[in-house]
Amino acid sequence: MGRALQRPHLRLIGVDDGAFRRTSGRAPLAAVRLSLPRRIEAVGRSSVTVDGLDATDRILRLVRATGPVSDLRALLLDGPLVGGFNVVDLDRLAGELRLPIVTVSRHRPDLRRIREVLEQYFPDEAAERWRLLSRHPPRPWGPGPGPLWGAVVGARRPSAARLLERTAVEGRWPEPLRLAHLVASAGPPGRFGGPSRPGDGRAKD
């Protein structure tokens, strides 16, 4: 998979959640397929249960609904948590999609505090949630002060780091994730085909 990340023309997909109220019980989720540097090919929207256990299943459905997975070279995630403490199984995503999975966070996650929260509020599921979170601990993606943090599954870390550099159109943040966050906060679930794939499927809530 590492070689695939170095191809000159790359199609990636970014997945992120949007702003939500915990009392609503649902958090918006969006996927944006991008041909680097910034050609949008498809956009999909769905949702996950706030603090639930359905993140991995929902992301799998959403990614597949936006078009052929075989066209993609990697899946980017804004960290391994969506909808609060709904933990993503990175290994399962990589295995079922046969794609490298790259997580990115703006700040170093406080894993000790996260574990305390899991044990306090999710005592029956804390062990499993923590197992998924701790399997791939975040590391800095670059040198210097204020680096991005994250993990990679299914590819070599140096290749993933170079990929992230190519995805940063403005600043350091990956463009697929920037767009996915905007879309997640923009409206109800559904799929909207870009110029290259009109009419490909739908992501249903």
Task: Provide the pLDDT for residue 131.
Answer: 97
Task: Provide the pLDDT for residue 187.
Answer: 66
- Contact predicate 203/191, CB 8 Å: yes
- Contact predicate 133/92, CB 8 Å: no
Instruction: Give the position of tokens 């062990």.
Output: 127
Q: Are strands 11-17 and 74-77 parallel, antiparallel or unpaired?
A: parallel
Query: What's the CATH number of domain 3-193, 1.10.8.290, 3.40.50.720, 3.30.2170.10, 3.30.930.10?
Result: 3.30.2170.10
Q: pTM value? A: 0.86
Give the model confidence (pLDDT) of 119-136 as tens digits.
999 999 999 999 999 999
For 168, phi and psi rounded to 5 degrees? -85, 100
Strand order in the sheet with 11-17: 152-153, 101-103, 74-77, 11-17, 26-35, 39-49, 190-193
Q: What is the mean pLDDT of each run of 10 residues along the chain (205 residues)?
A: 58 95 92 92 96 98 97 97 98 98 95 97 97 96 83 97 91 94 78 38 38
Task: Provide the pLDDT for residue 5.
Answer: 54
- Domain ranges within the chain, ordered by starting residue: 3-193
Task: Provide the pLDDT for residue 194.
Answer: 40
Calpha distance 26→111 (Å, rounded): 24
Tokens of 51: 């603090």
